[in-house]
Chains A and B, each alone.
Chain A
Amino acid sequence: MRGNAFEAKVKGDGGTELLRLLHERMGEGAEPPGQAPTPDLAAAGPEGRAARTALALREATEAGGWALLDHPMLALEVAGSPAYLEPDAVVVHPDGRWTVVEIKSFPMIDAAADPSKVGAAARQSAVYVLALERVAVLTKGASVDHSVLLVCPRDFSNLPTASVVDVRKQLAVTRRQLTRLSRIEDIADELPPGTTFDLDGQSGASLATAVEAVPAVYAPECLAACELAFHCRGRAREQGTVTALGRSLRGELGSLTTVEEVLAAARGESGDPADPTVAAVRRAAALRAEAGAPCH
């Protein structure tokens, strides 16, 4: 795939090209890196690699020069359990700043890339920044950049170009989401004893039952992000949940949460007319009918 080939190209030759781009965009007067050390991060298991990464970061920061960490391993606590993350690269500046580098294969045409893809890259990088900060607080003289370097192919070529992406907003969002997550143990406590999601050793039906046992809050955005989306969508539709049609419907329809409830309220069959949402859907239904839309 071109994506991997592109990353290899960007990092080739000891990362000189990558460091040159980074220095050009976020060097802030420091000496150009030229060749920089690329510490060996190999270790056994993710825990070992994360420890090795933390050590390499500390050493590079103490050394006070440039360093390029290729595929470092970072740990972040998510819902009470450690998750291991592997950014494309982290660069240590001579002043002790650490910058996350994200290498993507979508093109930057005339210095602008597809905003939705840049947004996704920014959200992803924000998680790395967050994980790096856990290491930085334990490292003297270190700080983590709240901007990341996004490296993409330039125009229609396979040559790299870069732009600096400010991820402060994504950081705030991610921080908030992480604190709001229910702890995995709490979710597990709710499940019937013996529930397992092991793919081997149980029938499809019992696996389905196991999955059903976990509460899910499906929204259409799941379709692009989660392999269970069609399953959860089917369930949400069966239950007639309005948010299966879009998250925004929850705000719009307030206390009316199912398709049936909303339509019954709209037809005047149920619902308290004093409830502003009920009044609004009735009014909307009346206007719609008056305008010639077929009613049932």
Chain B
Amino acid sequence: MSLIATLARLEAVESGRAQPLATVRHRHLSERPLVFVPLTTAGEAGAPLGALVGTDRNAPTLLVVPQPRDRDLRFTFLADLAEAVLPYLDAYAADIELTERSETDPETGKKTKVEVELCADAPQLIVPGRAGVDFVRLLGRSMRFRRTAEQDPDAPYPAPPRVPLLGRWFTHYAERARTPGAALLLAATDLLNRHWATGQSSLEDQHLGALLAWIDPPAGEPGAEAALRAELARGADGQLLCPPAGPATDPAFDNRLLAPAVERYDRARQALQAAEDGLAADDRLGQLTAAEREIRRLLAAQLMPTWSAVWRALDLLRELPEGDRAAARWTSDRWSFTGHRDRITAGEPPQPRRDDAVTAATKLLRRERAQAELEAGEALDDPLVMAGRRLSGEAFAGEVVEVTPAWSESKRPSPRPLLTLRTDDAPHLAEGAKVYRSLDGKPQKAEFVAYEPGGALVLRVLDKMGRAKDPAPGSVPEKGDRICWTLFEHEQRGAPKLPDPEATPWTHGGPPGAATAEQPDAPTPEDLL
């Protein structure tokens, strides 16, 4: 945590309200995100219990597994989830624009422009917290290798038709969420924590209810009190007023409300199976339906506060204007979505259980690049973030007090003007260090020449001044300009090239075998998912 963020936390303690960590929104938010609030079954690591899902805050779809140990009921849940999610994804997959991309011709090695499809927008999934992201990954893993009856007529427990496809998409979204700055799948808590500092620790900030209590406390109430209420307050029935945002549930809910309801459901089901005539069966079916309705009611009551909290979080975030570079990063998300859409259409098998060496290394490099790009982008979009970089000596802001025209020593001299700047910042500059400023959104490079006796520093501008002997108008700072320079680059240059998959050295596992579909998990009598 930078000292600036720490100060913001302390000010939040003092004022009783969260303090801003950003002046713009650093993540793109879709006009129409899909919110997904899942719950799992206590003690059955990962078995789904229920979920709210949908794009309309006033009309979520409630999905429930009345008996989580029952494979058929879990399959029904997954099939319903696929029906709730896939049409949303499909709508974006179908809306495309044509764009150009340069590709290297494998024969000649020449770069050529080819026309490709890019989805005009991408679907965005929002979950309450990080555990929700992990659960999307888990669901993805559990579904993507399943076989439907059509794919494998002999499968002992064939999956409902669209479930494996949902598994592939969930896997893709969870994988993309590991890329810094990516916004296809986001946790509401991460979004809020990026933009506000509360008066509590980052551990407590994982509680969506407490976090919102600090950012947007009820009128007049100090954040700490509102947060404490969100953490601990229980109603007369002993249930938390602000249930956990999941996927894990509160033990008091499990033991006092859910367990008896599931037991009633089980009994009703047994009774129905034992029914001897149609009349008795009708009657018992009615009891079973009532038992299921009760479970739905209980789960809806647990889920609704979180559902509303996620939408409230989105409202708060929308009040911030979106950063320019956040919008640019969203384009990468659109590429990511389009790419996966294309892999599915091309009939490629689901993502393997484990990446081969080249894929793993490529992902790692891309993530490192994305991290550097994100850090630079957020700082350039937002003076409050830049303040942190200035404090750490990675950037400085100063006033131009003198501009001295100068030229390079070559046959065709190019402009290399010298700038004298006064700054209160303390950048870590070595002689010849490169610094960058943003000129119409493009980085302009300069190098550090020397400190003057009075403490002012001298820079030599190196590029973006046109081809003529004299600099193009507006390309050189003028006396009196106040400019922020960074020691870090604004854009990442091309990533180092990795060998083609076919040329993977044996030390890294050798060339991958043919991309064949992996075997599904063998079913056992006691599976959770």
Residues of chain A touching chain B, judged by Cβ–Cβ distance below 8 Å, are: 1-3, 105-107, 109-110, 114, 153, 155-159, 220-221, 223-224, 230, 237, 240, 242, 244-246, 248-249, 252-253, 259-260, 262-263, 266, 280-281, 283-285, 287-288, 290-294, 296
Q: Which of the segments B6-14, B268-276, B413-421 contacts the partner chain?
A: B6-14
CB closest chain-B residue, reference A105: B45
Interfacial chain A residues near B200, Cβ < 8 Å? 220, 245
Distance A90 CA – B484 CA, assembled complex (angstroms): 63
Distance A184 CA – B228 CA, assembled complex (angstroms): 32
Known A-B contacts: A220-B204, A244-B201. Give 11 more (CB < 8 A). Answer: A2-B44, A110-B353, A156-B527, A157-B526, A157-B528, A221-B203, A263-B11, A266-B7, A285-B7, A291-B387, A293-B8
Beta-carbon contacts of B437-481 to A below 8 Å, as 1s and 0s? 000000000000000000000000000000000000000000000
Interfacial chain A residues near B3, Cβ < 8 Å? 252, 280-281, 284
Contact count band on B = 35 or more
Q: In the complex, are the beta carbons of A245 and B13 less than 8 A apart? A: yes
Q: In the complex, are the beta carbons of B10 and A296 less than 8 A apart? A: no
Interfacial chain A residues near B231, Cβ < 8 Å? 230
Q: What are 7 A-to-B residue pairs whose CB atoms are below 8 Å?
A: A107-B528, A153-B45, A245-B10, A249-B6, A263-B11, A291-B23, A291-B386
Q: In the complex, are the beta carbons of B10 and A3 less than 8 A apart? A: no
CB closest chain-A residue, reference B224: A237
Interfacial chain B residues near A248, Cβ < 8 Å? 1
Smallest CB separation, A113 vs chain B (Å):
10
Smallest CB separation, B69 vs chain A (Å):
9
Distance A1 CA – B259 CA, assembled complex (angstroms): 12
Smallest CB separation, B426 vs chain A (Å):
8
Main secondary structure of the interface of A (DSSP, over half): helix
Distance A117 CA – B295 CA, assembled complex (angstroms): 30
Q: In the complex, are the beta carbons of A109 and B9 less than 8 A apart? A: no
Beta-carbon contacts of B8-38 to A below 8 Å, as 1s and 0s? 1111011100011001000000000000000
Q: In the complex, are the beta carbons of B46 and A107 less than 8 A apart? A: yes
| B window 215-245: CB within 8 A of A | 224, 228, 231-232
Interfacial chain A residues near B284, Cβ < 8 Å? none
Going nearest first, the 3 A-B pairs with the smallest beta carbon separation are A220-B201, A158-B526, A287-B387
**Pair count A-B, CB < 8 A:** 124
Interfacial chain B residues near A266, Cβ < 8 Å? 7
Given A110-B353, A221-B203, does the pair A292, B23 have CB atoms closer than 8 Å? yes
Smallest CB separation, A263 vs chain B (Å):
6
| B window 485-529: CB within 8 A of A | 521, 524, 526-529
Given A287-B4, A292-B384, does the pair A157, B527 have CB atoms closer than 8 Å? yes
Given A109-B138, A153-B45, A156-B521, does the pair A223, B204 have CB atoms closer than 8 Å? yes
Interfacial chain A residues near B388, Cβ < 8 Å? 287
Q: In the complex, are the beta carbons of A292 and B1 less than 8 A apart? A: no
Q: In the complex, are the beta carbons of A292 and B353 less than 8 A apart? A: no
- Contact partner of A156 (CB less than 8 A), chosen from B46, B134, B202, is B46
- Contact partner of B7 (CB less than 8 A), chosen from A221, A240, A281, is A281
Given A2-B43, A157-B527, A296-B15, does the pair A246, B201 have CB atoms closer than 8 Å? yes
Distance A245 CA – B353 CA, assembled complex (angstroms): 39
Smallest CB separation, B382 vs chain A (Å):
8
Chain A CB within 8 A of B172 CB: no
Q: In the complex, are the beta carbons of B232 and A230 less than 8 A apart? A: yes
Smallest CB separation, B304 vs chain A (Å):
26
Smallest CB separation, A250 vs chain B (Å):
11
Chain A CB within 8 A of B305 CB: no
Q: In the complex, are the beta carbons of A156 and B142 less than 8 A apart? A: yes
Q: In the complex, are the beta carbons of B384 and A105 less than 8 A apart? A: no
Smallest CB separation, A116 vs chain B (Å):
10
Chain A CB within 8 A of B141 CB: yes
- Contact partner of B529 (CB less than 8 A), chosen from A156, A159, A292, is A156
Distance A288 CA – B526 CA, assembled complex (angstroms): 56
Smallest CB separation, B443 vs chain A (Å):
21
Given A220-B204, A223-B203, does the pair A157, B384 have CB atoms closer than 8 Å? no
